Amino acid sequence: MTTEDDKDKRGSLPEQLTGPLLVAGAGVSGEGIARLLVACAADVTVADANTVTGQALASKLGCAFIPLDEAVAQVDRYATVVTSPGWRPNSELFVQAAAHGVPVIGDVEVAWQLDQARCFGEPHTWVAITGTNGKTTTTGMAAAMLAGPDREHPLALAVGNIGVAVGEALYHEPRVDTLVAELSSFQLHYSSTLRPRVGIVLNLADDHLDWHGSFEAYAAAKAKVLHAETPLVNADDPVVRNLAPEAISFTLGEPAPGQIGVRDGYIVDRAFVDDNVGEQSDGKSQAEGEGLVIAPVEGISPPGVAGIADALAATAVARALGAPAHDIAAALASFSVASHRGAITHRGGGVTFVDNSKATNPHAAAMALKGVARYIWIGGGQLKGAHIDTFLRANAPHMTAAALLGVDREKLREGLANVVPELPVFVTGKTDKHRAMREIFEFVASVAQPGDTVMLAPAAASLDMYKGMAERGDIFTACAKEFFPSEESESAH
């Protein structure tokens, strides 16, 4: 419980957080929010349907607890409801809060308000990165570009859905001045005053429509990062471009003034230079009007169009904050893509296996498959309300076979039959995650030929069968190694 000394500190709290606060949920995210607020001497009550879990957390943090049903009935007693991202907007607690005029905000909004109120010293520099796909890779790249030379004491930190939680980053030791935050549409939905130094929307496509209710609502949540001092957008995505037509942008094509793009195999900045004679990352000068040459696109991880697009976006972020070209080039040269994002995880029997389990929606899967001429596709899971027709029309003609699993497997099977009825398609009805993937690989083993590529790019979420996309990818790779032993393994016997 709060003490008199705690109450004396509340002058440093932002106005919306000075009254009694109700934290919705005693899970991992809820605990993080409650811990942050208690540390700042806020008046916190945790609500949860699980009384044992909720009481244990309240005792651990020294705050109050209320059962969820009682919280719903008494929500008007609180000044603000604070939620973790997983709670849907139509949850009864939030419906009642709205009916009583009680605002609902999220973990990122709380962290932002506390930081702006100088509860952790001078406010941090915030970068907000969002989009349907590429967020994690772009965030990691941008943080590396802004980290500075001392890796033990970086100047920037990847936070949010990657690395450290935003709230924890505020009291990170040693202090890190720049927070490069990967933010989801859920977190942004519950944000109202967030205004980062730099905000970027990478792309927009159908995703989480079951949560937001419509694409328009989903896009509106993502667009909140464009309230930034320096908004950045993807010039190649017309939906994103229209959100901020005058904003600085990045493009896979040759850059116009005000853009970061690609020319002659190099990333070039024509946005954060005045197009006068300057210096490239290799120390050479370039002619007036050509912009600043940053780094070659060859060798970027992950390889392919998706990796280059992420690198362009990260470069735009870094240049917006004044990072020199040589720091950006060095970061790209050393950056390695995280697991389950397009890495080749096995080769055996002349067949290559690519794990892109992170491709949890059709747009991400399309980017993962782009540039691969022919492949065996493994897909399926939870489509989350996403439309698949455009994805299948564009990609099915490149498939030599397809294997489907998960709750929405029949939707994908029907879609494939409409586009390429002659395509060999296998559908497993198994709900056990290991048995399902083994059946998939029994089929793959019957159709794969030396020189083939097998692509796990599911176009759907994994939580219908797996703990997450990482487990799905790990089981895929384990089966690949079992069914297609590597040449080294064969020679060892």
CATH number of the domain to which 155 belongs: 3.40.1190.10
In 3D space, the residue among 250, 249, 204, 254 whose CA is nearest the CA of residue 224 turns out to be 204
> What is the spatial distance between Cα 203 and Cα 222, in angstroms, rounded to a whole number?
10
pLDDT reading at 489 higher than 50:
no
Binding residues: 131-137
Is residue 162 located within the same domain as residue 194? yes
Q: What is the domain range of residue 353? A: 343-483
> What is the spatial distance between Cα 23 and Cα 1, in angstroms, rounded to a whole number?
15
| Average pLDDT value for the chain | 89
Q: Which residue has the tokens 């060859």?
A: 298
Q: Under a CB-based contact definition with an 8 Å cutoff, are residues 351 and 376 in contact?
A: no
Q: Which residue has the tokens 């032993």?
A: 485
pLDDT reading at 281 higher than 70:
no
Prior bond of 302 cis (ω within 30°):
yes
Is residue 100 located within the same domain as residue 153? no
Query: What pLDDT band is residue 410 in, cutting at 50, 70 and 90?
Result: very high
Please give the model's pTM, rounded to 2 decimal places: 0.74
pLDDT reading at 283 higher than 60:
no
pLDDT reading at 7 higher than 50:
no
Classify residue 488: in a domain, yes or no: no
Classify residue 77: in a domain, yes or no: yes
Boundary (domain end) residue, out of 42, 74, 107: 107
What's the confidence (pLDDT) of residue 1?
A: 40
pLDDT reading at 437 higher than 50:
yes
Strands (E), 235-374: 248-250, 259-263, 266-269, 292-296, 343-348, 351-355
Q: Is 473 helix (H, G, I), strand (E, B) or coil?
A: helix
Beta bridge partners of 130: 201
Classify residue 248: in a domain, yes or no: yes
Query: What pLDDT band is residue 396 in, cutting at 50, 70 and 90?
Result: very high
Lowest-confidence region among 94-108, 111-125, 309-323, 474-488: 474-488
Domain of 367: which CATH number? 3.90.190.20
Query: What pLDDT band is residue 370 in, cutting at 50, 70 and 90?
Result: confident
Mean pLDDT of 22-33: 90
pLDDT reading at 100 higher than 70:
yes
Classify residue 284: in a domain, yes or no: no
Classify residue 280: in a domain, yes or no: no
Ramachandran sector of residue 252 (left: φ over 0; alpha: ψ -120 to 50; beta: rest): alpha
Give me the count of residues in the chain: 493
What's the confidence (pLDDT) of residue 285?
A: 44
Largest CA distance in the chain: 75
What's the confidence (pLDDT) of residue 460?
A: 93
What's the confidence (pLDDT) of residue 49?
A: 94
Lowest-confidence region among 114-128, 161-175, 242-256: 161-175
Mean pLDDT of 362-377: 87
What's the confidence (pLDDT) of residue 274?
A: 67
Structure-token pair, residue 19: 């009254």
Q: Is 11 helix (H, G, I), strand (E, B) or coil?
A: helix
Query: What pLDDT band is residue 462 in, cutting at 50, 70 and 90?
Result: confident
What's the confidence (pLDDT) of residue 23?
A: 97
Query: What pLDDT band is residue 339 in, cutting at 50, 70 and 90?
Result: low
What's the confidence (pLDDT) of residue 284?
A: 46
Is residue 91 located within the same domain as residue 176? no
pLDDT reading at 340 higher than 70:
no
pLDDT reading at 132 higher than 60:
yes
Is residue 130 located within the same domain as residue 250? yes
Mean pLDDT of 187-213: 89
What's the confidence (pLDDT) of residue 133?
A: 86
Structure-token pair, residue 18: 């000075």
Residue 472: count of CB within 10 angstroms of its CB: 28
Classify residue 119: in a domain, yes or no: no
> Who has greater pLDDT, 68 or 342?
68
What's the confidence (pLDDT) of residue 338?
A: 64
> What is the spatial distance between Cα 270 and Cα 290, in angstroms, rounded to a whole number?
7
Is residue 30 located within the same domain as residue 173? no
Query: What pLDDT band is residue 97 in, cutting at 50, 70 and 90?
Result: very high
Query: What pLDDT band is residue 372 in, cutting at 50, 70 and 90?
Result: confident
Binding residues for ATP: 131-137
Mean pLDDT of 434-440: 96
Classify residue 367: in a domain, yes or no: yes
Query: What pLDDT band is residue 235 in, cutting at 50, 70 and 90?
Result: very high
Is residue 432 located within the same domain as residue 387? yes
Is residue 296 located within the same domain as residue 174? yes
Ramachandran sector of residue 416 (left: φ over 0; alpha: ψ -120 to 50; beta: rest): alpha
User: Which amino acid appears at position 40 of this protein?
Assistant: C
Q: How many domains does the chain have?
A: 3
pLDDT reading at 254 higher than 90:
yes
What's the confidence (pLDDT) of residue 355?
A: 92
Is residue 136 located within the same domain as residue 260? yes
Boundary (domain end) residue, out of 45, 78, 107: 107
Lowest-confidence region among 60-69, 246-255, 467-476: 467-476
Q: Which residue has the tokens 């370039």?
A: 286
Q: pLDDT tens across 293-308, in order?
A: 999 999 998 878 889 9
Is residue 325 located within the same domain as residue 426? no
Mean pLDDT of 144-166: 87
Domain of 84: which CATH number? 3.40.50.720
Classify residue 302: in a domain, yes or no: yes
Residue 174: count of CB within 10 angstroms of its CB: 7
Is residue 326 located within the same domain as residue 429? no
Is residue 40 located within the same domain as residue 189? no
Is residue 347 located within the same domain as residue 330? no
